[in-house]
Structure 1
């Protein structure tokens, strides 16, 4: 059984299932902060860890497996979340690796009517400094409504690169001003992390509302 951490209204119109990035658990300060902001905006947020992270927290040194190997775990988490929801729509997503795995699982779940959309926070379009190693093939044909929240300075893929990837029409991108992979800007930019996170939450809420 998937262990969830949940915040936000129990009977919210939208539940967002989130998995963390490769190197941090669902209780990381970043995940806690974003989840709290989304909950304050009226969303129900449910977080979970992949098995390798659960083992790591218990002393294992297991590295994260390939994203494709985690699809089954994500799908099981979706079914667990659906079984305990009090109505409303389910969106799936995550931070970095979590968002990538969600994107790989999304299409069949959407086609089956299990989810209403996908939200990726800092999508790893390619490894840093290796732009030729793209992780975008499935994103060119995706029909599941998708929102990617990405920092303008994200080393995993910035605006100029993403513009040339030929992403599917179902995908929209919200760019965080001067943001890095955690959406944090440089002080010299005049933007703030607080502002970027607030803008990201508003973009997610608007995206969810458009799904009807």
Structure 2
């Protein structure tokens, strides 16, 4: 894959009732095993999925070396540009803003701008706080409180950026739905002794996201 043809990766039927725009997390590209598995799982349920990369990751792919994430305004500018590109390609089709970790947090901030066409938000492993710093959660919680769209957070029970005990101690607004993945960490990977697998949690994530999208768009799926 070259930088030129990596602007968007598409999965799923072109005549889908909704399009999911899927952003990656801070450290993995749009074609990581997680992103690919989730896109395939959603496509199998009749959804169109557009994966994209933030600019720093595209530069890293181009061979400029490992780079840290861009600043928040730059990340949001990229999100806005992709949203407009997809909206123009699918006029009138409901759009769902989705992302893993950092990508999901940026989707939450973008949704607060009431972008045209957006009907819901999905955060896969929402980073409620930096690792090891639950006391620094205020800003990220505030973004959730101001969320104007229906939102789904899919979270591993052992997520180091917001585990079940921490999240359940918060009061989230009613438009936000939580779904817990058994024994999952930030990547949804469970311990071997848990009785479940990473693949099972990834599939469960795709299933619940598809269910959420059907609910917010009023579509029946496949």
Q: TM-score, normalised by structure 1?
A: 0.93
Segment drifting more, 140-149 vs 189-198:
189-198
**Cα pair 2:22 2:98 within 8 Å, conserved:** yes
Note if 1:203 corresponds to 2:208: yes
Aligned length: 210
Pick aligned residue for 2:189 from 171, 184, 189: 184
Q: List 4+ stretches of structure 1 deviating above 4 A.
A: none
Residue number in structure 2 paired with 1:122: 125
Residue number in structure 2 paired with 1:8: 12
Note if 1:137 corresponds to 2:136: no
Residue number in structure 1 paired with 2:43: 39
Query: Which structure 2 residue ranges, 5 or more long, are not aligned?
Result: none
Q: TM-score, normalised by structure 2?
A: 0.89
3-state SS, counterpart of residue 194 of structure 1: helix
Note if 1:165 corresponds to 2:165: no
Instruction: Work out the CA distance in 1 between the residues paired with 2:169 and 2:73.
Output: 24
Residue number in structure 1 paired with 2:33: 29
Displacement of 1:32 after TM fit?
1.0
Displacement of 1:140 after TM fit?
1.2
**Cα pair 2:111 2:148 within 8 Å, conserved:** no
Instruction: Give deviations 1:129-161, integer Å, cap 9, x for gaps.
Output: 111111211111212100011100110101111
Displacement of 1:59 after TM fit?
2.4
Instruction: Give deviations 1:48-81, integer Å, cap 9, x for gaps.
Output: 0011111111222431123344112101110001
Instruction: Work out the CA distance in 1 between the residues paired with 2:133 and 2:70.
Output: 19
